[in-house]
Amino acid sequence: MKNLITLILITFFVSTSFSQETKEVRVKHFNLKKDVAISGYDPVSYFSKSPKKGSSKYVHTYKGVTYHFINDKNKKSFINNPKKYEPAYGGWCASAMGGDNPHKAGVNPETYKIINNKVYLYYNKLGINTLNSWNKGDETEKVKSGNKNWKVITSK
């Protein structure tokens, strides 16, 4: 019995430490402006094909990353399925992540694409729209490459 209790306590402390570490890593690697993801845009609104800036009235923090929503309904949708609504690559530019020189690049939160039920964001400033170049290549390979690169970047 004493060994079982010891094992349970060790498991608890290890899992608690790991989840804290996960939050810190997520916050470190997410594209946050004033501690809010997607420049305050509602992550659920992308799926209605009309991304909108959320309100500080409807806020939810998931594993250390804070999101704003346009209404309580969207907030509840996110809470019920955060993995669906969180942007790929921590909200950094998908094109930069899936390219030959993977790196974190800023985005225009209104330049996006939904691929396999996931939101991908793109850089779009100064006449450069990386969504255009993304659309010219093999999207499946770019997503695979981006996923692989993202794992490497977030492991540091």
Give the tens place of pLDDT for each residue, 87-142.
Answer: 999 999 999 999 999 999 999 999 999 999 999 999 999 999 999 999 999 999 99
Split at pLDDT 50, 70, 90, the class of 14 is very low
For residue 12, what is the enclosing H or E element? helix 2-29
- At what angle are helices 2-29 and 139-154 packed, to 10 degrees? 120
pTM listed for this prediction: 0.85
Spatial separation of the C-alpha atoms in residues 66 and 82, rounded to whole Å: 12
pLDDT at 8 over 80: no
pLDDT in tens, 49-99: 999 999 999 999 999 999 999 999 999 999 999 999 999 999 999 999 999
Question: Residue 12 pLDDT more than 60?
Answer: no
Query: Which of 119, 122, 53, 124 shows the shortest CA–CA distance to 92?
Result: 122
pLDDT at residue 11, as a whole number: 36
Give residue 156's pLDDT. 84
Confidence check: pLDDT of 3 > 90: no
Mean pLDDT within 34-59: 97
